[in-house]
Structure 1
Amino acid sequence: MTALPEDRTTLIGEDDRDTAVQRLQEAYALGHVSHDDLDERLHRVLTAKTHGELVPALASLPEEDAGTTSTIAVAGGRIQRRGAWRVPRMLKVESAFGRVHLNLSRAIIEHPVIDIELQLGTGRAKITVPRDAVVDAEGLHAGWKDSRYKAPRRPRTGGPKIRISGTMGFGRLTIRHARR
């Protein structure tokens, strides 16, 4: 399943385009697309102006193994993901000191359920989810401050379920739904 922005006419940014090009190059390097197919897809990505034009160039790439867990880890600094990045089925985020910002609003989400495990020491974390996502943060344990999440008044249906678990020491998690 690929979760697209509700408004497929939303303009893409350079981050979205760069991420899409990188994904295509990786697929080519792994032998998942031919040289001719790569040229055609790159042309689509480089000339795309909206998400509706960008996503089809990436949609048929091989899916990740649903049993794998991807880990993003830093001792200090910033962890940031945004644009058209592919969200794995299970994502583990580890940071001793620093900020975390995961923006899933324009991400390519191919699984109906996404598990995000946070292991954070200090620092803030912010997760932006698609408008139609259902969020479950009951598995998150905060040591100092509670997480901030306000479910939408009129929840939308059809989006992915995002389960957030793990531990946070001295920081706060803010979860919000994308505006568009």
Structure 2
Amino acid sequence: MTALPQDPPPPVSEDDRETAVRRLQEAYAQGHISHEEMDEHLHQVLTAKTHSDLAPALASLPAEKPDTTSTIAAAGGRIQRRGAWRVPRSLKVESAFGRVHLDLSQAVIEHPVVDIELQLGTGRARITVPRDAIVDIEDLHTGWKDTRYKPRRVSRPDGPTIRISGAMGYGRLRIRHAWR
């Protein structure tokens, strides 16, 4: 009996590689690994072609904390965040009636990708993103009005990616990039 050929293992994605580098940096900053171990593990991560090549570099690190979703909710009224506030990796915004204004232009964004889930009944929503942010609204469903968003013509690849998903009933979402 002949064995069927197996599919080659999937290659390491850039997201997987970035996550591994971030975990190594955190472990080094917290004193879990030495400078020499950090250099050695970084080399393994950056040259890994498959997940089995990546695993040994991460095996001795502390377990990664699962991402948690922060929720901002209001039945009615206004939800507003602006200034220097810390943006979580995953944010859920729920409002039955009212307005939502999220200003990320001066916010502390520690993650390369931020997921914002909108669950809005009626009312407007406005999101101001950093000037160099990349915005993805593919998974957002609107019921009554379309989303107003013009992507920047020139975007730098080093900005955060803001993924906006969820559902809006009656109202409009307006997304704009900050001027500075």
| Amino acid aligned to 1:97 | F
AA aligned to 2:98 is G
Question: SS at the partner of 1:138?
Answer: coil
Please say if 1:99 is aligned against 2:81: no
Provide, for residues 49-69 of structure 1, a one-character-per-residue CA deviation record: whole Å limited to 9, x for no partner.
Answer: xxxxxxxxxxxxxxxx56110
* 1:35-62 alpha-carbon deviations (Å, 9 max, x no partner): xxxxxxxxxxxxxxxxxxxxxxxxxxxx
Task: Tell me the alpha carbon deviations over residues 89-111 of structure 1, each in whole angstroms, 9 at most, x when there is no partner.
Answer: 00000000000000000000000
Cα deviation for residue 168 of structure 1 reads 0.2
Question: 2:132 matched to 1:132?
Answer: yes
Partner-residue secondary structure (3-state), 2:139 = strand
What's the TM-score, normalizing by structure 2? 0.63
Residue 151 of structure 1 corresponds to: 151
Instruction: Measure the CA separation in 1 of the matches of 2:95 and 2:156.
Output: 32
2:75 pairs with 1:75: yes
Distance 1:104 1:77, change over 3 A: same
DSSP-derived class of the 2:138 partner: strand
- Give the whole-Å Cα distance in 2 for the aligned partners of 1:177 and 1:171: 20
The 2-side partners of 1:148 and 1:138 are apart by 13
Work out the CA distance in 1 between the residues paired with 2:97 and 2:156. Answer: 35
On the 8 A contact 1:66/1:89 being kept in 2, the answer is no
Between the two proteins, what is the percent identity of the paired residues? 78
Aligned to 2:161: 161
Q: CA–CA distance in 2 between the matches of 1:108 and 1:159?
A: 13
Kindly indicate whether the alpha-carbon contact (under 8 Å) linking 1:131 and 1:156 is maintained by their aligned counterparts in 2: no
What is the CA distance between 1:155 and its match in structure 2?
1.6
Amino acid at match of 2:99: R
Shift of 1:157: 2.4
TM-score w.r.t. the length of structure 1 is 0.63
Name structure 1 gaps, 5 residues minimum.
Answer: 1-64
Question: In the alignment, is the contact (CA less than 8 A) between 1:76 and 1:97 conserved in 2?
Answer: yes
Query: Which residue does 2:86 correspond to in 1?
Result: 86
Runs of 5+ consecutive residues of structure 2 not aligned to the other structure: 1-64
Name the CA distance, whole Å, in 2 between partners of 1:138 and 1:120: 17
Write out aligned runs for 1:40-79 (5 A): 67-79=67-79
Count residues with an aligned counterpart.
116
Flag as ranges the 4+ runs of structure 1 deviating above 2 A: none
The offset of 1:112, in angstroms, is 0.4
Quote the Cα distance in structure 2 between the aligned partners of 1:128 and 1:152: 13
